Amino acid sequence: MYHGSDTRGWVYPGRTVVEGDWPAAIPEHCTATDSDTQTLAGGLVIVCTGCGLDCT
């Protein structure tokens, strides 16, 4: 599946998407950039704030 509008944003099926109230329901609809991230679990996990995709 693809992530965001950037053509580099290929992500493999099976990548973790954190459950949450994200603006985009699926990574293909995400418009966030690489800098739109949020850390969880004390910085151990980095997720996209647009869709919750695990970017760690």
Q: Which residues bind Zn ion (CB under 5 A)?
A: 30, 32, 48, 50-51, 53
**How far from chain centre, in Å, is Cα 35?**
11
Shortest distance (Å) from residue 51 CB to Zn ion: 3
Query: Nearest distance from residue 40's CB to Zn ion, in Å?
Result: 14
Q: Which two tokens stand for residue 49?
A: 């704030």
Reading the block at residue 32, the tokens are: 């966030």
Q: Which is nearer to Zn ion, 42 or 53 (CB)?
A: 53
Residues 6+ apart with CB under 8 A from 11: 1, 2, 3, 27, 53
In the complex, least distance from residue 37 CB atom to Zn ion, rounded to whole angstroms: 9
Residue 21 or 53 with smaller CB distance to Zn ion: 53
